[in-house]
């Protein structure tokens, strides 16, 4: 059988074009000649009526095929460029995903804080040699430990809140603790213990915070050097000691860049005072020494506020007018 040479595009004005095209398609399929009518396409618009574009070829609808949906109603309808409407609506590449909302700005807990520098943050108390017995339980975990109970106390002696982030405490050149983002108000202290059997430091107080070192200090009793480093690695303060006694070393007078003294020189009954003044007062009190009784006004009638005379004689009596 010769192949039919009808071009369906020429029948587009025939009143009965649909019935005729179906008959032609059936005849071609039965004769095996239907392939000659297939042509390449990009969209169904490139095909003749009653055909649609499938796999870049114009084909007729068969008995088992689903009729081509209307271009205006199909979610997969194609435009003149050969793109489906979904493709046209969906962005591609970098535009395929919606821009993520900007993360909320991180607010610093103390935006007014200044960096910790020399003269603002000091080592205030140091315990390299832990006393023996229960009295040596400096971290209050219920156990005296020669290493865990070592501590370094820092105090902010400036009028500013200090940002301690990045500040380190070291045993000589070996950093043992680094502060995370921490704000230290004026007059407040920060105590770093070498360890704890509870794996937790004591609870913070109103004017003192407590932390555990990243690794044990391991200060030598015979002598050593405790160093305070700023966030940039500069030395802020240091304590060099020899033959540490079994009690802490404490600034005297307190809350100043004064020399260190044995803690028992300030408070005879207390071997140390982490987070407080030597006598147990809060650091925020100013650690003022108790008033000396000799400084109080005396009730002894033999003492007078009048200045003594040059020869040691009592002051002359004042002439008072006599009543008439």
Predicted confidence (pLDDT) per residue in 257-280, tens digit? 999 999 999 999 999 999 999 999
**What is the Cα–Cα distance from 51 to 315, expressed in whole angstroms?**
136
160 exposure class (CB count in 10 Å sphere: 0-12, 13-18, 19+): middle
Q: Is the pLDDT of residue 316 over 50?
A: no
Q: What is the pLDDT of residues 181-239, one digit of tens each?
A: 999 999 999 999 999 999 999 999 999 999 999 999 999 999 999 999 999 999 999 99
**What pLDDT is recorded for position 28?**
54
pLDDT band at 248 (very low <50, low <70, confident <90, very high): very high
**Which of 65-69, 125-129, 212-216, 221-225 is the least confident region?**
65-69
98 exposure class (CB count in 10 Å sphere: 0-12, 13-18, 19+): exposed
Which two structure tokens, joined as six digits, stand for 144?
A: 């005296």
Q: Does the domain spanning 114-284 belong to CATH 2.60.40.1260?
A: yes
What mean pLDDT is predicted for residues 93-115? 74
Q: Boundaries of CATH 2.60.40.1260 in the chain? A: 114-284
What mean pLDDT is predicted for residues 61-70? 51
Q: What is the pLDDT of residues 19-64, one digit of tens each?
A: 555 555 555 555 444 444 457 787 878 887 777 787 778 877 664 5
Q: Is the pLDDT of residue 16 over 50?
A: yes
Mean pLDDT score of the chain: 78
**What pLDDT is recorded for position 108?**
83
Give 75's contacts (C-beta < 8 A, 6+ positions apart).
84, 85, 86
Q: Where are the beta strands (DSSP E) in the chain?
A: 51-54, 57-60, 114-115, 121-127, 151-156, 162-163, 168-171, 174-178, 183-184, 189-193, 208-212, 223-229, 235-242, 249-251, 260-262
Q: Is the pLDDT of residue 9 over 60?
A: no
Task: Between 305 and 237, name the one with better pLDDT.
Answer: 237
Omega before 30 within 30 of 0, i.e. cis: no
* Cβ proximity of 287 and 278 under 8 Å: yes
Residue in the block written with tokens 């919606």 = 98
CA distances from residue 137 to 188, 321, 323 in whole angstroms, order as listed: 23, 73, 76
What mean pLDDT is predicted for residues 118-144? 97
pLDDT band at 123 (very low <50, low <70, confident <90, very high): very high
Q: Is the pLDDT of residue 12 over 90?
A: no
**What pLDDT is recorded for position 56?**
79
* Cβ proximity of 228 and 179 under 8 Å: no
Q: Is the pLDDT of residue 134 over 90?
A: yes
Residues of the chain above pLDDT 70, percent: 65
The verdict on pTM exceeding 0.85 is no
Task: Between 68 and 127, name the one with better pLDDT.
Answer: 127
**Which of 159-163, 274-278, 308-312 is the least confident region?**
308-312
**Which of 9-13, 53-57, 248-252 is the least confident region?**
9-13
What mean pLDDT is predicted for residues 294-312? 40
Task: Between 69 and 171, name the one with better pLDDT.
Answer: 171
């Amino acid at each position: 059988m010769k192949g039919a040479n009808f071009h369906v595009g020429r029948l587009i004005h025939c009143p009965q074009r649909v019935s005729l095209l179906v008959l032609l398609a059936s005849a071609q399929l039965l004769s095996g000649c239907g392939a000659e009518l297939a042509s390449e396409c990009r969209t169904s618009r490139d095909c003749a009526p009653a055909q649609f574009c499938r796999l870049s070829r114009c084909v007729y609808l068969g008995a088992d095929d689903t009729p081509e949906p209307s271009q205006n109603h199909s979610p997969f309808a194609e435009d003149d460029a050969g793109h489906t409407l979904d493709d046209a609506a969906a962005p591609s590449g970098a535009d395929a995903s919606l821009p993520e909302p900007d993360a909320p700005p991180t607010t610093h807990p103390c935006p007014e804080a200044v960096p910790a520098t020399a003269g603002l943050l000091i080592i205030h108390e140091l315990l390299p040699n832990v006393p023996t017995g229960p009295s040596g339980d400096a971290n209050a975990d219920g156990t005296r430990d020669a290493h865990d109970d070592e501590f370094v106390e820092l105090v902010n002696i400036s009028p500013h809140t200090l940002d301690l982030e990045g500040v380190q405490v070291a045993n000589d050149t070996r950093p043992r603790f680094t502060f995370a983002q921490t704000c230290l108000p004026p007059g407040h202290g920060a105590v770093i213990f070498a360890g704890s059997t509870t794996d937790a430091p004591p609870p913070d107080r109103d004017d003192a915070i407590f932390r555990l070192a990243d690794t044990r200090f391991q200060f030598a009793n015979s002598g050593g050097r405790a160093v305070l480093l700023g966030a940039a690695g500069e030395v802020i303060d240091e304590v060099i000691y020899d033959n540490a006694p079994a009690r802490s070393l404490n600034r005297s007078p307190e809350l100043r860049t004064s020399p260190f003294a044995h803690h028992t020189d300030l408070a005879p009954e207390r071997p140390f005072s982490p987070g407080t003044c030597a006598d147990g007062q809060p650091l925020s009190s100013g650690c003022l020494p108790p008033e000396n009784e000799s400084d109080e006004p005396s009730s002894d009638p033999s003492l007078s506020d009048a200045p003594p005379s040059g020869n040691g004689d009592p002051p002359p009596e004042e002439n008072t007018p006599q009543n008439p």
